[in-house]
Structure 1
Amino acid sequence: MAERNIRLGKWELKGYYPYVPFLGKTPETGGEPLGVTDWIAATVPGSVQHDLWKADIIADPYHGMNSIHCEWVENRWWVYRTTFDFEPDQMRTIHLCFQGLDYKAHLFLNQRPLGTHEGMFVPLSLDVTEMLRSGGNELTVVFEHAPDIMGQIGYTSETKSLKSRFPYKWDFSARLVPLGFWDEVLLQRKGHHLLRDIWLQPLAQEGVLNVSGIVARSGSGGKSAEPCMLKYKVEVRFEGEIAASAERWIDSPVESSTFLETKLSVEKPELWYPNGTGAQPLYEVEIQLWENDSLSDRWEGRTGFRSLTWERSEGAPDDALPYTMVVNGRKVYIKGANITPLDVLYGNVTEERYRRFVQELKEAHINLVRVWGGGVIEKEIFYELCDRHGIMIWQEFIQSSSGIDNVPSKDPRFLELLRETATAAIKVKRNHVSLACWSGGNELTDDNGVPVTYDDENIAMLRDLVRQYDPHRLFLPTSASGPREFLAVDEPGTNYDVHGPWKYGGATNHYYMFNHSDSMLHSEFGVDGCCAVRSMEKFLGEEDREVTSVRDNQVWRHHGEWWDTLERSREFFGDIATLSGLVAASQWVQAEGIRYALEANRRRKYRNSGSIVWQFNEPWPNVSCTSLVDYYGLPKMAYFWVRKAYAPIHLSLKYDSLLVRPGERFAAECYVQNSMDAGLVKWRAECFDLSGAMLWRESGERSVPGNATIRLAEFAMDIDCSTPEVFAVRVQIEGLEPNVYFFSTLRKDYLKALLHAPQPILQATLKETAYSETGECVRKFLVRNIGEAVALYVTAETIRPADDPVFCLQNYSILLPEEERLFIVRCPMSERQADPPEVEFVAWNK
């Protein structure tokens, strides 16, 4: 057996003041220092803070203001230890592998030093064969206090350490700086020759898989120094069948390593496509390295066959970078989302949480995520899931702006760490078919505030590394890139890849901005909105669950300092008396603002190559934030409207304002946005008031070209004193989800009627119950509006607050009187639940 993990014992954790663990016994007393904590149980991978919380040494750091009282943790040194048994085998070497040490660690095996490691994104593998003893062994790791790094505000040019920056305080996260093992620790048994730097290069058009790598001798003596015959075998499998194989003999390395390289022919490979444009077939690849007659090492992974190139946006000048993806010869419009780490304590993110996260991305019709440079280079499971579900990845190296100075650091030690981190990341992530491009970092500029170019010393180094280790992928210097960083519609011709804004622009100005934008790529922008009340109940005390603002409530400020939406919500909805009303109003404006931006950009396809909304998730529970999904995984209204805006075939309205006055003429243009092949669409549009009374209807048929956007129709209506204060326009393609827009004729409290509309009567009938392979209960309900008023934004909710929340893609549907819709409700089944939770269907105007 080439590789077998040796089971480590349970981990323990203890805290000390800096340098104390190196002291041993004190000269004054002759005793060992007691430490700031006793030994407690530790989770690996994980974080010091999580273990202290579970041991009741610190309070729940996510609740209230508790994280402030946890900041002492980052300033202590922390010692982990574990034990394991070992029996020597002359035919095997033992390797201690650390996938993520956060941040600077001193390593000891049986009280003997193994060395010191700095850099949380650079894995460390040590041959410890000669240091092990038969029977019991002890592994000890001492983590120094966290390095002094700037949070969101500071001077990028003065960066000296390469640790994830966002936990030091960002607009979507409080300060909670994790330490510990953020990824796996493995003790592996191998032979005397090892596989390193495996690189899979599938060539779709040729039907060829190039496999290369390094065969290295283990660092221990004995058998590894003896000459021997080495053989490697490569096997490619697809759907359980062998698609290609090869077997080669190589000489044992005379020095420390030698190269392996082979080419395999795969007949008519199935092509891999991004989410929403085709399937994601994956080929399993196994490489075995044989030492004489003994299996010495094994590498396993997956790959996919697809071609990927990048083109300039249509009409772009010659100095513009290429922003349009072309996959398998077909342009793909970017329907993107920026992601942050899933948790401020990123080491504690479980595989199941990653699975739910990527599933939510896929179901939102997202086809690309930007892994933001202020966060982390994610664990391998994330990239594997993106391979499986067609989520393309824009991977940034770990650099970010700082507000005061955004110039990439030239500090020699930082550049050394950056080189090590980038090299390690490229060599691993390049094997993922989902990887679309690399980027130097987030919002990096020169001294004049202009996005950096390849001429910057820091960026040039990264570009050279990508050229060396992954030469066929695009490398962008930063995001945004081009002559300006932020969208400026009053300076047309300068908006290449731009960022911003992150706030709703107003009932008229927001629409002017996006109707006049000429961005080639909009790689970051958003609108803020509150999280759900049931999420607030998890991190706010009862005394703080009220209608308030970040100006007036310190706890709210701690959970969303930049993202207050109270005054904006009052502008649209008038006085708001309840927390649930504030959440509804805040989420509505967020959803409206993001939806319109996405639709407006998509109407310019491929003059605009795509949108990457900021942000999909948040790593910390915020009262309000620009995320589409809150910390607890609950989607906001904006998630569902983004899902519609990114749908393969979608109808959208172009209009100038949400407000139309008596005496004016309401006008809107209807566009069909098609990512599929050409075809005939049957469409209808209707305008109604909150009672469901129809003001007008139109319908038609139209041949729509493939992978294009065209104007379908134009609607107009004179506004007079008889026009309802609030009216809606619903557009729909037959068989697909409708899209509903609300407009107001009022001069203030524009949409107050939505929160105070007449009550509908909903009738839900359970039609089917089934269970998935994961144990999730899936129930189908036919929901009918049997009342006399429009049912606004119907959602599926659990009746018992203690139940786990349910997930339903049909949430926020609008049902006119006598209309019905099928709601498919997914109910996660926790261990404490014997039966699925009871579900009810609730409208805003309940």
Structure 2
Amino acid sequence: MFALTRKILDAGWEFKQIGAVGVPEPEDEFLPVAQFPTNIHLDLMAHDKIPDPFIGLNEHKVQWVGEQKWLYRTSFTVGAALEGEKTVLQFDGLDTFAAVSLNGTSILESDNMHRTYRVDITSTVKEDSNVLEILFDSAVIRGKQLMKERDFKPVGMTTSGTDKSRLLVRKATYHYSWNWGPELMTCGPWRPISLERYISRISDLSTKVNISVEDQTAAVHVSAEVEYGNDNDSVAFTLIDSDQNVIASEVAKVSNSGICFMQLKVQDAEFWWPIGLGKQPLYTVRAKLIRESKSLHERERKIGLRSASIIQRPLKDAPGTSFFVEVNNVPIFSSGSNWCPADHFVPRVTAERYRKLLKMFVGANQNMIRVWGGGVYEEEIFYDICDELGILVWNDFMFACGTYPADAAFQSTIVAEVEDNLKRLRHHPSIVAWSGNNEDYLFATLFHAEYDINDTNPENWLKSNFPARYIYEILLPELCTKLIPDTSYHPVWHQTRPWQEYPILGSRFISEFGMTSLPHVKTIESYLVDSPLSERHPHSRTVDHHNKELQHERKLATYLIENFKYGFGLEEYIYITQLNQAEAMTLAMRAWRREWKGPGREYCGGALIWQFNPTWQVTSKALVDYFNRPKMAYFTVKRDIAPISLGIERKEIKTPQFEFTRAFIDTETRFLGWGTNVTLKPVTYSLTVKVFELSTGRELMTRVETRELAANISTELFDLELPKPRTSTEEPLIISTCLRTLSDNGSEGAVVARCTNWPQPYRYLNMPKPKLDICVDGDVITAKANIPVKGFLLYVEDVDGVEFEDNCLDLVPGDTQTVVAHGLNGRAVTWRYYGME
């Protein structure tokens, strides 16, 4: 009697084109794949059959690839099977329409990229050599055929004009193009394929955790499902802590239904906490299938001991309810971003790349990441790293921006997809919420679908032209209740408005908001490599092609013209778009965190930026670009959502001196300040408030006082009248605040937080030329100025070799700022600031 064996089939794969639609003619010979798992674009690029579609305008040149059929094959050998032994092929991901055959016999027809397929090949596999073939059909052609066959007419358009047939196809939506991504219709075995042999196995291992924060105890309810079990089987459960100590161990008999349960209790439990609130210890649950004293199969899961839920309860002095995440009975303000696949071609995203991006995410003080519904259910390594780092994950189900069908066949594939992924991912402590879709209700409303929020009859929904409501409000909740009863589910929800209005556009939880900017100049140059020099211009055809936002020329131009003076050189344009993005994000984050006002007054419970990362070199709302190069907003957001942060609002109050006058108006300008402390302890700091004249740097007001910031709350700090300038009533005044630590004797120490407030819009400001004092000592850069300076940005030539801890600073007189640049090692440092000639 032998234990389960698993062999990853990652060797010997080759591919070729089958048939031809248009040109070019298919190759007769098979070619080796570039890697495994893989997709067709990666393989064609490896053999110079297509140009890199990320370069220049090459995206247009490779559209034919997505309309062809592609055959992949490999061979493998197996020995003789034991009596009663099963042989199974597991396909973790086939993109998307795939006909699979083994030794010429059809064994699988797949139509869902997001599913895992298991196929029993016991009667098909041959002793010794076997040939496995997978024929991938064109997803876009098949989708259009399905639209015609079913007479499918979805309501309205889809985002960025993507093909409506995507709504019928269970494929990563962003492959069809998006407002930040290319149209590259991939296919191929995009996740591993494995061969298993076993007599019996543990087909599923799940846990449910209950904790008592007060008693520091936990109960881990473990369930194992056994495939091909018998009356003599038992499962040995073991719970192991992060130091590899066995905490509990129990044996349970397998029931007739193939399921066994056990409760493992933990004393002195180490709880899993979000980043910034504690540690992230991970326990291991191990299950061993025993038959006749022999181990047939062993599975394990890493779990965290924590509770998590979305809290929706009435608010004081405000309509509606709160919406925030609570972990281990502690309310959490969620500050973070939305996650898109790290590459358009997911198979080439390495574990190292995932870790780099997620460490940058934590490095920017972000604590929640939302896996967006137009991408993929992410790789295990993604969630493993989130578990390790304490990142909270809000995960969408894969629906985005459209009115999907909900017929029986579609519901069936959705059930299988959701069950696969919930079972795969439900043990991760980082995942605290699932949501039904991305903006589908918005599309239903925007295009006047038959959607009546007051109609509570699901049968009516299915007869309407927005039947997917049934999926989001019936099907998905039922599956979540069944498979993840202790994780919250929420069926989910965007205009060119001035970003100065962000504070009044808030809500109880902002799941998406963003501002477009160009990426780093080297990132742009990476796709201009084969282009003429004339294309190195912010409005060239090639640069324009790498901006997929609808009407992006008008949108971005409106924001820039409303706010800044600028030229049109590429470097300056990059700078000004990134400064625009940084200012928009900082205004929003400061204002919305201000609304975190304590129990019963959680008027805003979180804000997630769209987006953290893009899938290629593109002008987008991302905080970091395709090569992991941070934009300016990355640093401003990092400061604005730090555990301790400051905010300032400038308010103008106009009072007529008598009725009906328009000429005699008294104007009072006040500035209001607040501090946000999202740690679990109250803190006391020295608060300094200063007001400067912009043109002279003259200090008009200084106020220093000791202030306490209560724990996990925003505190209003001051409401003061802005002093009158000495030189001219038109002189712009800059407000600066900072918090410094206090020693036992009351003396001031290090700066904990800074904030400046400038008159808006910046285009009205005549920026004087400052006297800068920049000093570089090893990896430490210090900067000071004699007048206020906006958007002071440090550069090095070898950008990928240096990691700045801070950047994009506002400088004011008398406040020397220090930036650590890891890996500087004598490299020359240059800089730019707003208004620099």
* TM-score of the pair, normalised by structure 2: 0.83
Is 1:669 equivalent to 2:658 in the alignment? no
1:178 corresponds to: 186
**In the superposition, relative to structure 1, how do residues 786 and 436 fare at CA in structure 2: closer, same or farther (>3 Å)?**
closer
Partners of 1:155 and 1:74 lie apart in 2 by 13
Deviation at 1:137, TM superposition (A): 3.2
* CA displacement 1:642-692 (0-9 Å, x = unmatched): 1122111111112358xxxx9955422110111122221222122333765
Partners of 2:221 and 2:112 lie apart in 1 by 31
2:480 corresponds to: 466
1:705 corresponds to: 710
Partners of 2:164 and 2:320 lie apart in 1 by 26
Residue correspondences, number: 762
CA contact (8 A) 1:213 1:259 kept: yes
Partners of 1:451 and 1:653 lie apart in 2 by 41
1:684 corresponds to: 688
CA contact (8 A) 1:17 1:35 kept: no
**In the superposition, relative to structure 1, how do residues 789 and 517 fare at CA in structure 2: closer, same or farther (>3 Å)?**
closer
Partners of 1:690 and 1:356 lie apart in 2 by 42
CA contact (8 A) 1:316 1:520 kept: no
CA contact (8 A) 2:239 2:249 kept: no
2:201 corresponds to: 194
Q: Which amino acid aligns with 2:629?
A: L
1:531 corresponds to: 519
Q: Which runs of 5+ in 2 are unaligned?
A: 145-157, 459-468, 597-601, 653-664, 741-749
Deviation at 1:212, TM superposition (A): 0.4
2:114 corresponds to: 121
CA contact (8 A) 1:761 1:786 kept: yes
* CA displacement 1:15-69 (0-9 Å, x = unmatched): 123799xxxxxxxxxxxx9647752433222321122112111111111111111
CA contact (8 A) 1:233 1:245 kept: no
Q: Which runs of 5+ in 1 are unaligned?
A: 21-32, 218-223, 481-499, 767-780, 828-834
Deviation at 1:108, TM superposition (A): 2.3
2:728 corresponds to: 722
Give the secondary-structure state (helix, strand or coil) at the position aligned to 2:405.
coil
Partners of 1:268 and 1:698 lie apart in 2 by 48
Which one of 821, 825, 829 corresponds to residue 840 of structure 1? 829
Deviation at 1:598, TM superposition (A): 1.6
**In the superposition, relative to structure 1, how do residues 264 and 35 fare at CA in structure 2: closer, same or farther (>3 Å)?**
same
Deviation at 1:811, TM superposition (A): 1.8
2:347 corresponds to: 347
**In the superposition, relative to structure 1, how do residues 274 and 824 fare at CA in structure 2: closer, same or farther (>3 Å)?**
same
Partners of 2:731 and 2:536 lie apart in 1 by 29
2:490 corresponds to: 476
Which one of 228, 235, 244 corresponds to residue 247 of structure 2? 244
* CA displacement 1:283-341 (0-9 Å, x = unmatched): 12222212324322121221011112322255289995762212111111121322222
Partners of 2:733 and 2:12 lie apart in 1 by 63
Give the secondary-structure state (helix, strand or coil) at the position aligned to 2:764.
coil
**In the superposition, relative to structure 1, how do residues 346 and 408 fare at CA in structure 2: closer, same or farther (>3 Å)?**
same
Taking the TM superposition and a 5 Å limit, the aligned residue runs for 1:16-95 are 16-17=18-19, 35=27, 38-88=30-80, 90=82, 93-95=86-88
CA contact (8 A) 1:795 1:810 kept: no
CA contact (8 A) 1:426 1:469 kept: yes
Which one of 629, 636, 641 corresponds to residue 641 of structure 1? 636
Partners of 2:773 and 2:365 lie apart in 1 by 32
1:264 corresponds to: 264
Taking the TM superposition and a 5 Å limit, the aligned residue runs for 1:342-421 are 342-402=342-402, 407-421=403-417
Give the secondary-structure state (helix, strand or coil) at the position aligned to 1:764.
strand
Deviation at 1:792, TM superposition (A): 5.4
Deviation at 1:216, TM superposition (A): 0.3
Partners of 1:100 and 1:836 lie apart in 2 by 44
Partners of 1:432 and 1:815 lie apart in 2 by 43
2:461 corresponds to: none
Give the secondary-structure state (helix, strand or coil) at the position aligned to 1:73.
helix
* CA displacement 1:233-289 (0-9 Å, x = unmatched): 2222213332433342535x86xx610211101112111111222221111222221
**In the superposition, relative to structure 1, how do residues 759 and 620 fare at CA in structure 2: closer, same or farther (>3 Å)?**
farther
Quote the RMSD (CA, aligned, Å).
Answer: 3.4
Deviation at 1:172, TM superposition (A): 0.8
* CA displacement 1:594-639 (0-9 Å, x = unmatched): 11112111111111121122111111321x2211111221111111
CA contact (8 A) 2:9 2:192 kept: no
1:778 corresponds to: none
Q: Which amino acid aligns with 2:98?
A: A
Partners of 1:797 and 1:531 lie apart in 2 by 14
* CA displacement 1:154-183 (0-9 Å, x = unmatched): 797993221111221211112112211222
**In the superposition, relative to structure 1, how do residues 82 and 7 fare at CA in structure 2: closer, same or farther (>3 Å)?**
same
CA contact (8 A) 1:16 1:37 kept: no
**In the superposition, relative to structure 1, how do residues 191 and 312 fare at CA in structure 2: closer, same or farther (>3 Å)?**
same
Partners of 1:153 and 1:807 lie apart in 2 by 38
Give the secondary-structure state (helix, strand or coil) at the position aligned to 2:485.
coil
Deviation at 1:433, TM superposition (A): 0.8
Which one of 483, 497, 507 corresponds to residue 519 of structure 1? 507
350-359 or 79-88: bigger deviation: 79-88
* CA displacement 1:719-756 (0-9 Å, x = unmatched): 5753685553322211345434352488x833563xx7
2:90 corresponds to: 97
Deviation at 1:713, TM superposition (A): 1.2
562-571 or 670-679: bigger deviation: 562-571
2:15 corresponds to: 13
Taking the TM superposition and a 5 Å limit, the aligned residue runs for 1:284-295 are 284-295=284-295
1:741 corresponds to: 756
Deviation at 1:425, TM superposition (A): 1.6
2:541 corresponds to: 553
**In the superposition, relative to structure 1, how do residues 354 and 518 fare at CA in structure 2: closer, same or farther (>3 Å)?**
closer
Partners of 2:705 and 2:802 lie apart in 1 by 37
* TM-score of the pair, normalised by structure 1: 0.83
1:762 corresponds to: 774
Partners of 1:596 and 1:327 lie apart in 2 by 27
Partners of 1:791 and 1:359 lie apart in 2 by 30
Q: Which amino acid aligns with 1:679?
A: V
1:830 corresponds to: none
**In the superposition, relative to structure 1, how do residues 558 and 391 fare at CA in structure 2: closer, same or farther (>3 Å)?**
same
**In the superposition, relative to structure 1, how do residues 408 and 320 fare at CA in structure 2: closer, same or farther (>3 Å)?**
farther
Partners of 1:790 and 1:598 lie apart in 2 by 23
**In the superposition, relative to structure 1, how do residues 231 and 73 fare at CA in structure 2: closer, same or farther (>3 Å)?**
same
**In the superposition, relative to structure 1, how do residues 292 and 7 fare at CA in structure 2: closer, same or farther (>3 Å)?**
farther
CA contact (8 A) 1:80 1:142 kept: yes
Is 1:576 equivalent to 2:567 in the alignment? yes
**In the superposition, relative to structure 1, how do residues 814 and 575 fare at CA in structure 2: closer, same or farther (>3 Å)?**
closer
1:543 corresponds to: 533
Deviation at 1:8, TM superposition (A): 3.9
Q: Which amino acid aligns with 2:713?
A: A
CA contact (8 A) 1:525 1:614 kept: yes
Q: Which amino acid aligns with 2:702?
A: R
**In the superposition, relative to structure 1, how do residues 396 and 34 fare at CA in structure 2: closer, same or farther (>3 Å)?**
closer
CA contact (8 A) 1:311 1:323 kept: yes
1:162 corresponds to: 170
Deviation at 1:694, TM superposition (A): 3.0
**In the superposition, relative to structure 1, how do residues 159 and 213 fare at CA in structure 2: closer, same or farther (>3 Å)?**
same
Give the secondary-structure state (helix, strand or coil) at the position aligned to 1:166.
helix
